[in-house]
Amino acid sequence: MKLNYQAISLASSLALVSALATPGLAQSSAEMIKTAEKACIENAAKDGYNPSRSQVVSSRVIDADKVEVVLNLTKDGSGFDRLTCPYSVSKGIGGFLPDGVGDVSVPKPQLGRLWWLLVPIIGLPLLLWALRGRDKAYLEASKPLTGRVYTEGYVNTNGVPLDVHEAPNSTSRVLRSLNNGEHLRLSGRHDHDWVELSEGGWVPNYYLRYTRDLV
């Protein structure tokens, strides 16, 4: 069987070109790590770190082109910074990263740090709902009495003070209290069993006795 020396020569040439075109394949893992560590320490020295006191914590080959080196670095010996150095055989150093941030696994943001982003998403609809309910209650309370509209009266509680509420319900904030027999003026607005005072506030109408009305 005759060998085709031209075909063998061509295949060898293609293999050599392919190896040269892929720097990571042209180097062993040990060579890549050694080159990456040296380049990272030299780059750290440009940033003011002391190269003679630089410590390599770990090194690993990520793929045929990338190496990740973790260093303990110090400038004056009083404290160390642990930084990750992503090294590319074809591109060089991409810049130092905080420890734990690499090319393969980047920590995902925790929800606890991003909870404030949910405030406008959740809080705005709740605020609009509350305002809409308040406006509806105010419009209902602003309806004038049909027939007789009472404008004056007095408190009739058999001696017990009468609380004036901010809204026409007993759960709203108490603005002040009225004494039994105290004279009062009304705005003419009502909400079911509640009437509004002319100076503001609401009281139940069954604790009042009316003295003047407008037809």
How is the chain split into domains, by residue range? Answer: 22-98, 143-214
Yes or no: domain 143-214 corresponds to CATH 3.30.43.10: no
Note the pLDDT of residue 131: 63
Side chain identity at residue 22, one-letter code: T
In tens, the pLDDT along 40-54 reads 888 888 888 898 888
Instruction: Supply the DSSP symbol for 21.
Output: H
CA distance 148 to 33: 95
In tens, the pLDDT along 121-149 reads 776 777 776 666 555 544 444 444 445 67
pTM, to two decimals: 0.35
Cα separations in angstroms, 24 against 60, 171, 185: 13, 74, 92
CB 48 within 8 A of CB 40: no
Spell out the long-range contacts of 39-46 with Cβ–Cβ below 8 A and sequence spacing 24 or more.
39/87, 39/92, 39/93, 40/69, 40/71, 40/85, 40/87, 40/93, 41/71, 43/85, 43/93, 43/96, 44/71, 44/73, 44/83, 44/85, 44/96
Please report which confidence band the pLDDT of residue 101 belongs to, taking 50, 70 and 90 as the band edges: very low
Please report which confidence band the pLDDT of residue 199 belongs to, taking 50, 70 and 90 as the band edges: very high
